[in-house]
Amino acid sequence: MLLSLNNINKSFGAIKVLNNVNIISERKECIGIIGPNGAGKSTLFKVISGNLKQDTGDIFFNNTNITNFNTEKRARLGISQSFQKNSLFPEMTVKESLTLALTHKYNVSFNIFNSLVNNKNINTDAINIAKDIGLSDYLETKSDNLAYGLQRQLELGIAIACNPTLLLLDEPTAGMSPQETKEIIKLIKKLSINYSIIIVEHDMEVIYELAKRIYVLDRGSLIFEGDSKSVKNSELVQQKYLGI
Amino acid sequence: MRAVNYNPKLRLQLLLILLSISIIANIFGSYFTRFFIAEITILSIFAISLDFIASRGGMVSLGHAMFLGIGAYSTAILSINYGISPLSSTLSTFIIGVVIGLIIGYFIVFLDGIFFIMVTLALGEMFNAWVFTSDFLGGSDGISGIIRPDFSQIGIDMNNPLTFSFYVILWLLGIYFLLTKITDAPLGRNLDAIRQNSHRISAIGGYTKAYKAIAFSLSAGIASIAGSLYVQLNGFISPELTHWTVSGEGLIMIIVGGIGSISGAILGATVVHIIQHELSNIINWWMLVIGFGFIFIVLFMEDGLWGLLERIQKKLK
């Protein structure tokens, strides 16, 4: 088991956003978390990434209790995330953004004397990652000047450059055209061979395509867990989520 | 906050141009010119200390004159009260500045934007008020009788403004190469990234607070060196040096020069100080002219004079 969320509860004032949520993620497994608006998906994502502290409950990652770890500590343990809204370094080129993220993989971020431009391993890795995420032709383009879909790809590139064990993807296809969505699905499928992935997504088709196991959230509680076929066939999910 | 394009080539070219001008002016200039060049060089060191934290880490400090004061008063006390040589005093003030900067930085670097500015302003003003009332530091009279380094054994007379001017230029070059090294290294790139998106640096496992604290303390150490050289140039220190307006002038210099290029800060310090000096000789309302000039640069010259040079460089290609 790679990640385990045990009895997670979170309230904002009187509103209970997460109610006894239990989730397990195995190694190199791609799991999806779905639910209607207000189900608590984003809150759950933030709790896993460490951006938000749960009220009660424990989180274990790689047999380590990370309940009280902040985002930075969790990232160093191997939990990497891509955000729903692009969160890039606008003045940096694609290559600079990737080499920067790689300084954390190579543990050289405190180095003050060796130029990053001359670090062969990091630069080679950056070029390879750019190739993997389909940005080889944009190495010298500033993040801010990339088209939206390409920015989403760079989001993923930065997330994988840190050499994570677990990738958290928050609505990776948000705001994308159908063609861009197809491209990003293809990319995530490729990544799922090497990484454990948790995707929070409201687009059911994306989740059906990518996730081996799906958790369905409704008003902060998990109401269903299963593969895409069982989710599709579940009357409860259809009632609660699809409104059928 | 915006910083200029990462352009190491222009950075070096600009430094070489400024260096050549200062060397020529120093050799052929009058006593006053040499003194003036030393003054500009010291202000440049102070400006690049501010530029470093503003562009690497996004920290705008209105209290950095405090470190200028720490360097100046430490040098005065170390050399007058304890008989430590002026060169050792300058090196010691760097360490003192770094340590105090690290302690202060540890508690304030997590603050963003206006909160960071206001806290540094408050710290600077507290220091200024303390210096004004401290008998040990000479109160409002300050401390005088501070000597320059003595290299007479190797035939160099540091009381000659020509040699002292070259001496401070050497300090500037050393600091310039240290900061360019850091800027191009992983730590510098991470600091630059923090300015652009600190949230993302946390998400990829960066030690955001530690990087910023290191940058702040290093900047404090460099500002202290500037303070130390300043008192050696003038032989005198008064509390006015620690007033927040000195930090404000430093910020004007880096905005005029273009934030983030290091050489741009040197250019900004040079241009602003020359204009200040020349205008104040001609008109009483020189501050008004400086103010309008500053507003013009902020509104119409993105990246300050550096941006202008970059456009010229592109046209020449």
Q: Indicate if the alpha-carbon torsion angle A63, A64, A67, A72 is positive or negative.
A: negative
Burial class (CB in 10 A: 0-12, 13-18, 19+), B225: buried
Cβ-based contacts under 8 A for chains A and B: 97
Nearest to B205 among A83, A99, A104 (CB): A104
Answer yes or no: are the C-beta atoms of B305 and B255 closer than 8 Å. Answer: no
- Cβ of A110 and B187 within 8 Å? yes
Q: Rounded distance, CA A218 to CA A242, Å?
A: 11
Amino acid at B109: V
Q: Rounded distance, CA A5 to CA A23, Å?
A: 5
Element (H, E) at A17: strand A15-25
Place of tokens 């020509």: B162
Q: Rounded distance, CA A169 to CA A184, Å?
A: 12
On chain B, the residues whose CB falls within 8 A of the CB of A96 are 6, 189
Domain count, chain B: 1
Q: Rounded distance, CA B166 to CA B162, Å?
A: 6
On chain B, the residues whose CB falls within 8 A of the CB of A75 are 202-206
Answer yes or no: are the C-beta atoms of B289 and B29 closer than 8 Å. Answer: no
Domain range for residue B16?
8-316
- A170 has which bridge partners? A200
Answer yes or no: are the C-beta atoms of B67 and B223 closer than 8 Å. Answer: yes
Both tokens of residue B30? 């009058």
> Under an 8 Å CB criterion, which residues of B touch A?
2-3, 5-6, 181-182, 184-190, 192-193, 196-197, 199-200, 202-208, 210-211, 214
Instruction: Please state, as a whole number, how many other Cβ atoms lie within 10 Å of the Cβ of residue B105.
Output: 25
Q: Rounded distance, CA A101 to CA A91, Å?
A: 15
Where is pLDDT greater, at A232 or B118? B118
- Cβ of B204 and A161 within 8 Å? yes
Residue A242: DSSP 8-state: I
CA distance A80 to chain B (A): 6
Q: Which of B171, B174, B184 is nearest to B11 (CA)?
A: B184
Instruction: Please state, as a whole number, how many other Cβ atoms lie within 10 Å of the Cβ of residue B291.
Output: 12
- Cβ of B206 and A109 within 8 Å? yes
Answer yes or no: are the C-beta atoms of A83 and A170 closer than 8 Å. Answer: yes
Q: In Å, what is the CA distance from B56 to each residue of A213, B66, B157?
A: 43, 20, 38
Q: What are the start-end ranges of the H helices in B56-160?
A: 65-80, 86-108, 113-133
Answer yes or no: are the C-beta atoms of B182 and B188 closer than 8 Å. Answer: yes
Domain A1-77+198-244 sits in CATH 3.40.50.880: no
Answer yes or no: are the C-beta atoms of B289 and B279 closer than 8 Å. Answer: yes
**Is the backbone of residue B189 left (phi > 0), alpha (psi -120 to 50) or beta?**
alpha
Nearest CA in chain A to B196: A89
Displacement of CA A100 from its chain's centroid (Å): 19
- A8 has which bridge partners? A21
**Residue B156: which CATH number?**
1.10.3470
Q: Which of B71, B67, B144 is nearest to B102 (CA)?
A: B67
On the question of pLDDT at A242 being above 80, the answer is no
Count helices and strands (H / E) in chain B.
12, 2
- Cβ of B202 and A71 within 8 Å? yes
Q: Rounded distance, CA A166 to CA A180, Å?
A: 24
**Is the backbone of residue B136 left (phi > 0), alpha (psi -120 to 50) or beta?**
alpha
CA distance A230 to chain B (A): 34
pLDDT tens digits, one per residue of A87-133: 999 999 999 999 999 999 998 999 888 888 888 999 999 999 999 88
Element (H, E) at B236: strand B236-237
pLDDT band at residue A134 under the 50/70/90 scheme: confident
pTM, entire model: 0.88
Q: Which of B92, B76, B213, B60 is nearest to B131 (CA)?
A: B76
Find residues 86-115 of chain A whose CB sits inside 8 Å of chain B: 87-92, 96, 99-101, 103-104, 108-115
Classify residue B1: in a domain, yes or no: no
Q: Which of A152, A150, A149, A104 is nearest to A126 (CA)?
A: A104
Both tokens of residue B269? 């310090």
Q: Rounded distance, CA B272 to CA B65, Å?
A: 17
- The DSSP secondary structure of A161-189, one letter per residue, reads HT--SEEEEESTTTT--HHHHHHHHHHHH
- Cβ of B184 and A49 within 8 Å? no
- Cβ of B187 and A71 within 8 Å? no
- The DSSP secondary structure of B256-279, one letter per residue, reads HH-TT-SHHHHHHHHHHHHHHHHH
- Cβ of B202 and A108 within 8 Å? no
- B151 has which bridge partners? B156
Q: Which of B9, B24, B56, B6 is nearest to B169 (CA)?
A: B24
By mean pLDDT, which of A16-25, A54-63, A235-244, B158-167 is the weakest? A235-244
Q: Rounded distance, CA A43 to CA B111, Å?
A: 25
- Cβ of A88 and B200 within 8 Å? yes
Delimit the CATH 3.40.50.300 region(s) of chain A: 1-77+198-244, 79-163
- Cβ of A83 and B208 within 8 Å? no
**pLDDT one digit per residue (tens) for chain B, 317 residues:** 666 667 888 889 899 999 999 999 989 989 899 999 999 999 999 999 999 999 888 899 999 999 999 999 999 999 999 989 999 999 999 999 999 999 999 999 999 889 999 999 999 999 999 999 998 898 888 898 888 888 888 888 888 889 999 999 999 999 999 999 998 899 999 999 999 999 999 999 999 999 999 999 999 999 999 999 999 999 999 999 999 999 999 999 999 999 988 899 999 999 999 998 888 888 888 888 888 888 998 888 888 899 888 888 888 87
Nearest CA in chain A to B183: A112
- Specify the CATH superfamily of domain A79-163: P-loop containing nucleotide triphosphate hydrolases (3.40.50.300)
pLDDT tens digits, one per residue of A66-92: 999 999 999 999 999 888 888 999 999
Q: Can you tell me the ipTM of this complex?
A: 0.87
CA distance B200 to chain A (A): 6
Classify residue B2: in a domain, yes or no: no
Q: Indicate if the alpha-carbon torsion angle A171, A5, A67, A191 is positive or negative.
A: negative
Instruction: Please state, as a whole number, how many other Cβ atoms lie within 10 Å of the Cβ of residue A73.
Output: 15
- Cβ of B186 and A111 within 8 Å? yes
